[in-house]
Structure 1
Amino acid sequence: MRVTLSDAARRHIALFEDVTDATAVDCLFDDTNDRICFLVTAGEIADAIGPDGQTVEKVEQRLGRQVTLVENADTPEAFVANALAPAAVYNVTISENRDTVAYAEVDRADRGVAIGADGRRIETARRLAKRHFDIDDIELA
């Protein structure tokens, strides 16, 4: 799918790439919690994080927001697993009935991690999956 970026998203991605030397392909804003999520090109997440998280901390300081990073993937299954990280996702199955739903098998101990505080992680995963793979929902199995 082709994702259209707002001017604000393009400006934030440019700053992110300038600080991290990693490539971001999308960014989502969560203004209610003053957070921003960058979708980072596959294989570049380590560069974006930096040693001991120092690089992503620089981005947070420059933006004045908490930053979340998600690594891009070629398949919808890998994408959903990456979006729920650091939760241990064992398997993702895509079901296409009336709606397209991704069922993610998550370790019982990591369900809270996959959901995130106030449901933020899974909601971000849902928004990204919809934008990039036209997945209508993500459910934890």
Structure 2
Amino acid sequence: MAVTLTDEALRILGLFEEVTEASGRDCLVEDDRVVVLVAAGDMGPAIGPAGQHVAEFEERLGRDVKLVEDADTAADFVANALAPAAVYHVTISENGDTVAYAEVDEADTGVAIGSDGRNIDTARELAKRHFDVDDIQLA
């Protein structure tokens, strides 16, 4: 599935890769934060020792940053997109629309949803862009 990036998103991904030496696969630019989709297996280098890389990236960017690790399957991708919420299991249902049902620890439901639905909306947008998942529902 092809993802089209804005000039700003491309510039941010370039800075991300320069600072962290990790591969960025996608970038969502929101009002006060940036969400970077990190290539599978590159989350450690993206964060860096004691969080140094991501902290430097945030400082140079002047915005908060959320990192999401890419995955090979839609279910794993949804679980990663909802992190740091504890996701026990994700079921993908393809009955007309493609819906991901994520079983989240009850104590982490608020984390998965985020303030004003921000985290789950971001997860939905990324899942749509990369796996054609129409919706994510918490179970």
Does the alignment pair 1:68 with 2:70? no
Alignment correspondent of 1:22: 22
* Higher mean displacement: 74-83 or 87-96: 87-96
How far apart are the structure 2 equivalents of 1:2 and 1:78? 20
Residue 53 of structure 1 aligns to which amino acid in structure 2? G
Residue 10 of structure 2 aligns to which amino acid in structure 1? R
Alignment correspondent of 2:90: 92
Aligned-pair Cα RMSD in Å: 0.9
CA offsets 1:105-128 (integer angstroms, 9 cap, x no match): 011111111112222111110000
Alignment correspondent of 1:3: 3
Unpaired segments of 5 or more residues in structure 2?
none
Question: Which secondary structure does the structure 2 equivalent of 1:36 belong to?
Answer: strand
Alignment correspondent of 1:35: 33
How far apart are the structure 1 equivalents of 2:121 and 2:55? 23
Unpaired segments of 5 or more residues in structure 1?
none
Identity, in percent, stands at 68
CA offsets 1:24-75 (integer angstroms, 9 cap, x no match): 00000112xx110000001110111112222111111111110000000000
How far apart are the structure 2 equivalents of 1:107 and 1:61? 32
Count the aligned residue pairs: 139
After TM superposition, which residue ranges in structure 1, 4 or more long, deviate above 3 angstroms?
none
Does the alignment pair 1:123 with 2:107? no
Alignment correspondent of 2:46: 48
How far apart are the structure 2 equivalents of 1:39 and 1:80? 12
